[in-house]
Structure 1
Amino acid sequence: MSERRPTVTVVISTYNQPDWLEKVLWGFLTQSIQPDEIIVADDGSTMETAALIERARTELLLPIEHLWHEDRGFRKNVILNRAIASARGDYLIFTDGDCIPRRNFVETHLSLARPNRFLSGGCIRLPRVVAQAIEFDDVRTGRAFQVEWLRRQGVRNVRRVMRLRYSPWRARISDACTPTRATWNGHNSSTWKHLLLRVNGFDERMGYGGEDRELGERLIRAGVRPRQIRHRALCLHLDHDRGYVDQCRLVFNRMLRRHNKRKRVPTTIAGIHNRLPLTANGALPVSLVVMTKNEERSLARCLDSVSWAAEKLVVDCGSEDRTVQVAEGHGARVISSAWRGYGKQRNFAAMQATHDWILMLDADQWLTPELAAELEILLPDLVSSRAAAVLLPMTATYAGRELRYYRSMVRKPKPRFYHRRRARWTEPPIHERLDATGLIQRARHEVLNEVCTSAYDHQRRLLTYAELKVGDCPAPTRRQSSWVLPFIYPAVFAKKFLLQLALLDGARGFILAHNEAQYTVFKRIRLFERTRLQREFGSAKGAFPRALKRSLSSGGGSGLEQTRSSSDR
């Protein structure tokens, strides 16, 4: 007595390719063994696709179920998980809406199905002109799978289609001897439904590019063995445009696959049963907080680098350009606030955010795609842990080019991603730091920071920082020696340029090391002046601010005032 044949469900993914989908349905009409169910997993196609499916139901009498969701970008994995959950078959065969199956496609998958295995089939890619020439009779009679017919239609690379001529024994030997590794291919793979449920299906965070391979890798880690049938189970892949390719998601896909391989992850938290800590709108519970003043040129780049944050908050300190309009145009909520000082302003901004996890960036800083992907992968574990902060390596760019060697400006870790209830900024006027109570992790990839666009811009910033730093210093307890002033510049410049390897960054390294040395000299000069003022006024308390105010009113001007007037001009 023969064993009962398992029920078979074919899952076809599609998106706005009704002409190609129709040819695929022709292929399943002519199968030697008909599937018990065909599910078209539709990633948001227009009504033209729905009309085609309804026509195929009535005219071709195919057992088709149409699963559709709204078009909100590439969400193929989401609709495929719905198809897996709703499938009535024991055995699932996956293909795409641009792949015409050969007559023995379903029969081959069924005959080779074994417990605890998945099958990896192959495809033959056809140019668009050949794909357009295929008609119903070509599929019904099998002409479309004949090498001579394909050559007449314009296929030039005959070696690519020679697999269509292989006899069953030669195809079997070729599958056994091929060096190509068996992977899960979205256009031609199959396995048992309970095995897909074991690994929680496809990872719904992934975009286009490797999302099917990632499922196969988790199946293997879960103990499911792959089998290569790329010469026995064939389909014709029809060429088409791919307007949904997103370079940032390609980076994320690559990072997630590396993370899962390193951690040996067999199941996903973002699959059929989604356990991601998401907000009501499906975003991660993170607030991106940016403090701005006249940052219309660089703000958009900063906001766009964190696409997955549930909230983008801009705290503006009286911008006179289009900063507010740029922020609102990129989906940010804007709050206007007077300047309180760096530490106080950061704490104020964090308390205005909606979520506890804060990504605090300046407007001239932005995440690399690799770091954005790393934080997106890391966040679910952070939310469930007692971590307080994540150190983000920060690398400076100068005049449009990233520095590579200058140690004080390359991969310098800064705590810009933190939990606001477990960490708080200190509140000096400048050089604030984050006091965290809890575990502090460190990211692998980096934030890019545009320190300046020109040498003038860099010097202007450093002079402003020097004034703030000197004003915040305690009163000198001993006399400042004037004889050391001439030696400060060469000592600091040698440290920056030689010891910290700024010389390897060429002219950019020289300019930055020169400006840093000048900054140190200017601070010491201002401290020397403060000592003189202390002797003149007899008391350090309030002496420096009063003298500075008197100097400004007399027209001499301090470095800070000169900076302000220069920017006004």
Structure 2
Amino acid sequence: MIFPSSSLIIAVYNRSEALELIFLSLINQTVLPNEIIIADDGSGENIKKIIDNFRDKLPIPIIHVWQEDNRNQKPRILNKGIAQSNCDYIIQIDGDIIMNKHFIEDHLTFCKKGYYLFGSRVNIQKSILESINKFKTMHFNFFSKGIKRRSRTIRIPFLMKFSKKVDKRSSKLRGCNLSFWKKDFISVNGYNENLVEAWKEDSELIERMHNNGIKGIRLKFAGIAYHLYHKSQNNPQLEINLKIERETIEKKLKFTDKGINQYL
């Protein structure tokens, strides 16, 4: 099968142990992306050390896009990172995701012009986090201890033949397991930097994509991702971001005035 050229975008902020696990899961991939872009929202030197350590262990370029730590500016660093992409297709994860070995393969196998893909995540609980970091655990299954949403560990890609197209944004959509065509992303001007901190950036983006005629496909029994436990973050800007998202929905907005075009 011939795949489109692809960039794996990893949104990170510190958590060097988690990034090491991501790189280890990358080494195990059945299909590699053409490049890796680390979208770094102001991490310290530990993240750079992890990146440098893996440059010789992976046969693809690693691009480190860094911005100064000024509270949470995830939409901005994602725009900056994707602006650096040299590929046609973007696969996006967060810096706390361990990928199943078929993760990249699944996203590329089921990508389709005019659509984005979104997958689920298996939650790894706090009780086994220390063990995972110590033993560099990469592989999980339905019977693994310390995980939630066990049914999401099951991979049966054949069943994707029966996957329904999504005309409206799904409540199950998460930016930690998402892929789309770069040209579709640019056509709506990418992430909305009017959003304050990191909340609703993925759903607001996808609303604009739907308004622009792009539809979704849910990766079910494919594109398996494991989400490492972390404390929930309070977002004092909740109402601001909700208001922006509501306006996008009600006015059927297709474009944001403050997006990726600043970096192209």
CA contact (8 A) 1:208 1:250 kept: no
Give the greater-gyration-radius structure (CA): 1
Q: Which residue of 1 aligns with 2:80?
A: 82
Whole-angstrom distance in 2 between the partners of 1:55 and 1:42: 16
Q: 1:120 aligns with which of 102, 105, 118?
A: 118
Equivalent-residue separation in structure 2 for 1:193 and 1:177 (angstroms) = 20
Partner of 2:137: 138
Which runs of structure 2 are paired with 1:278-289 in the superposition (5 Å)?
none
**Residue 38 of structure 1: how far off its partner (Å):** 0.3
- The structure 2 residue matched to 1:208, chosen from 198, 218, 234, is 198
Distance between the aligned counterparts of 1:195 and 1:177, measured in 2? 17
Query: Where do residues 186-197 of structure 1 align in structure 2 (5 Å cutoff)?
Result: 186-197=175-186
Matched, 1:165 2:150: no
Q: What do residues 39-60 of structure 1 show as CA deviations (whole Å, max 9, x unaligned)?
A: 0100001111111111111345
- Tell me how far 1:167 sits from its aligned partner: 3.0
The alpha-carbon distance between structure 1 residues 62 and 55, as it changes in their structure 2 partners (threshold 3 A), is farther
- Alignment correspondent of 2:242: 254
1:286-435, aligned counterparts within 5 Å? none
- Tell me how far 1:24 sits from its aligned partner: 1.0
Contact 2:11 2:93 in 1 (8 A): yes
Is the contact made by 1:182 and 1:228 (CA closer than 8 Å) also made in structure 2? no
Structure 1 residues 184 and 266: alpha-carbon distance in aligned structure 2, compared to 1, 3 A threshold: farther
Say if 1:200 and 1:273, in contact at 8 Å, map to a contact too: yes
Match of 2:94 in 1: 96
Per the TM alignment, residue 62 of structure 1 is displaced from its structure 2 partner at its CA by 5.0
Partner of residue 65, structure 1 = 63
State the distance in 2 between where 1:183 and 1:223 align.
Answer: 20
Q: State how many pairs are aligned.
A: 258
| C-alpha separation in 2, matches of 1:166 and 1:93 | 19
AA in 2 matched with 1:75: Q
Does the CA-based 8 Å contact 1:38-1:65 persist in structure 2? yes
Could you tell me whether the CA contact under 8 Å between 2:120 and 2:152 is conserved in 1? no
Unaligned runs of 5+ in 1: 275-569
Match of 2:17 in 1: 19
Once the two structures are TM-superposed, the CA of residue 163 in structure 1 deviates from its matched residue by 2.7
Classify 1:230/1:176 alpha carbon distance in 2 versus 1 (closer, same or farther; 3 Å).
same
Could you say what secondary structure the match of 1:147 adopts? coil
CA 273–176 in structure 1, closer or farther in 2 if over 3 Å, else same:
closer
> In angstroms, what is the RMSD of aligned CA positions?
2.3
Structure 1 residue 162 displacement after superposition? 2.3
Matches of 2:235 and 2:136 in 1, distance apart?
Answer: 38
Q: Which amino acid aligns with 2:103?
A: F
- Residue 108 of structure 1 contacts residue 232 of structure 1 at CA under 8 Å; is this kept in 2? yes
Aligned residues of 1:29 and 1:62 also touching (Cα < 8 A):
no
> Is the Cα contact below 8 Å between 1:172 and 1:232 reproduced in 2?
no
1:74: Cα distance to partner?
A: 0.7
Take 2:130 and 2:6, find their aligned partners in 1: how far apart are those partners? Answer: 30
Which of 39, 43, 46 does residue 44 from structure 2 map onto? 46
Contact 2:190 2:205 in 1 (8 A): yes
**CA 1:137–1:257: 2 relative to 1, 3 Å:** closer
Q: Is the 8 A contact 2:3 2:109 kept in 1?
A: no
2:201 and 2:66 map into 1 onto residues whose CA distance is 19
From the superposition, tell whether residues 256 and 208 of structure 1 become closer, same or farther in structure 2 (CA, over 3 Å): same
Give yes or no for contact 2:156–2:222 (8 Å, CA) kept in 1: no
Do the aligned partners of 1:14 and 1:40 also contact (CA within 8 Å) in 2? yes
Deviation at 1:76, TM superposition (A): 0.7
Identity %: 30
User: Which residue of the partner structure matches residue 220 of structure 1?
Assistant: 210
Report what 1:270 is aligned to: 258
Higher relative contact order (CA closer than 8 Å, sequence separation 6+):
2
CA pair 127-137 structure 1, distance change in 2 beyond 3 A: closer
Cα deviations by residue, 1:485-530 (Å, 9 ceiling, x for unpaired): xxxxxxxxxxxxxxxxxxxxxxxxxxxxxxxxxxxxxxxxxxxxxx
Q: Give the deviation of 1:214 after TM superposition.
A: 0.6
TM-score, normalising length: structure 1: 0.43
Give me the whole-angstrom Cα distance separating, in 1, the residues matched to 2:47 and 2:128: 22
Conservation of the 8 A alpha-carbon contact between 2:154 and 2:221: no
How far residue 127 of structure 1 moved from its aligned partner, in angstroms, is: 0.8
- Larger proportion of helix: 1
1:233-259 alpha-carbon deviations (Å, 9 max, x no partner): 11000011355x332x21111000111
Question: Over residues 420-478 of structure 1, what are the superposed CA-to-partner deviations in whole Å (9 max), with x where a residue is unaligned?
Answer: xxxxxxxxxxxxxxxxxxxxxxxxxxxxxxxxxxxxxxxxxxxxxxxxxxxxxxxxxxx
Deviation, 1:77, is 0.7
- Please list every run of 5 or more consecutive structure 2 residues that lacks an aligned counterpart in the other structure: none
CA distance in 2, matches of 1:7, 1:235: 21
Partner amino acid for 1:221?
N
Q: Is the 8 A contact 1:120 1:188 kept in 2?
A: yes
Cα distance change, pair 110–182 in 1 and its aligned pair in 2 (3 A): farther
